[in-house]
Amino acid sequence: MRYKNFVNHSTLVSTCGTLLAVWVLFRLLFSSSSSFSLNTLPFFKPFVPNFKNVPGVEYYDLRNYQGDRDGWQRGNRILFLVPLRDAAQHLPRFFGHMSELSYPHNLIDMSFLVSDSSDDTMGELLHHLQIAQSQKDRNKRFGNIEIFEKDFGQAIGQSFSDRHGFAAQGPRRKLMARARNWLGSVALKPYHSWVYWRDVDVEIAPISIMEDLMHHDRDVIVPNVWRPLPDWLGNIQPYDLNSWKESEAGIQLANTLTDELDGIGGVSILAKAKVFRTGSHFPAFSFEKHAETEAFGKLSRRMNYNVVGLPHYVIWHIYEPSTEDLKHMAWMAEEEKRILDETRLREFYDRIWEVGFDDVRMDWSDERQSILKNLDHTEAYENQIVVDWSDNDESDITPDEKVQNRLQEEVIDEHPQDEVPLDFDPDNN
């Protein structure tokens, strides 16, 4: 009996040990994978209370909304968060991008925050939403859409130089952080698995950007953002320089983006909803000498979330000329006009020069031959040409002398053949 009891006891211990080993193995293999959950196994399903018969009660198990790397196949709802300020001119392009997204539209919820706008942002937003949500193909319609309006007293202008000037960064970024936190706190629902922050003025982005970023299965992930430039500025330039990784030397930013980032930019951010549910946000104060999106990246890392940037996955922001760019473009326009005026004036003078200083030597040679052919050269010999070769200068002769000389010439002309006698006495004649 003792041996039998001992065998039963040993079998029980062995069975427990085997089960424990299997449990540890499952934990090691699948604890870091969001695509597999122990809750999917039938014998690990947790108890779920039934509130279907209780009016006004909604139950959500947040373990089911952790964010999957293949969320488009698992029905993960994604929340688009879009802050808007004086954005009427950008909304047609934004909704053009939205209509082309390959992520299932019915799984995309959108929340807009309109604030401190002086243009017709609200009117344009309502117009484009009406078009988007009234399409005949229901698969093209989006999920839940919310619009919030709240002003934050933004006194900084919307020009490129106003928004990106060094002096404006502190106050502007803190106000933007307040706006982002306000929008995120009122829009995030328990059934959202992902949160995507998107600037309205993105010019080019892949239609599969949601799936592309999501597939990396990171807590916070951003693409690389560039912007086009005019030829005289170098054609292209990195735009969202708020995405960076700290290093001791602070150099080779592009080479350091392959690892986790310290700060991120706000043009395009995809994050798992749990990041915000557990308390990460956009600090509206100086957090480790940074604020807003950069501080969000640093705060999320402090909370042990991975923050990743993709250096070779590029989207394009619109080109916004700075104040210096506008001055240079005005100078270029004036310079172009000056060069055009000089060219026209030069062409005019060239035409005048060709007409006024034309080489007519060949024409004169032809005309000379024609003139000589029409002359009677026999008559030319009968005409005597008298040339006065004397050295007298008529300008030195007085009027009386001129009269006397003329009379002498007349006398000579009347008696051209008279000869003077040898005995001629001028006193007696």
For the chain, the structural domain boundaries read 62-320, 322-357
* Residues 178 and 115 sit within 8 Å (Cβ to Cβ): no
Residue 98 has a pLDDT of 97
* Residues 222 and 207 sit within 8 Å (Cβ to Cβ): no
Q: Residue 386 has which token pair? A: 């008298």
* Residues 228 and 97 sit within 8 Å (Cβ to Cβ): no
Instruction: Give the 3-state secondary structure of residue 222.
Output: strand
CATH class of segment(s) 62-320: alpha beta
Residue 107 has a pLDDT of 98
Residue 264 has a pLDDT of 79
Give per-10-residue mean pLDDT for the chain (429 aa). Answer: 52 72 66 51 69 87 94 97 96 96 98 95 97 94 97 65 50 89 97 97 95 97 86 60 52 48 82 97 89 92 95 89 68 81 85 71 72 64 62 62 65 56 61
Give tens-digit pLDDT for 147-182: 999 998 876 554 444 444 444 556 888 899 999 999
Q: At what angle do helices 121-132 and 91-100 cross, to 10 degrees?
A: 20
* Residues 207 and 273 sit within 8 Å (Cβ to Cβ): no
The predicted model scores a pTM of 0.64
* Residues 35 and 68 sit within 8 Å (Cβ to Cβ): yes
Residue 167 has a pLDDT of 47
Give tens-digit pLDDT for 350-381: 877 776 666 666 777 777 777 777 666 566 55
Longest dimension (CA), the chain: 208
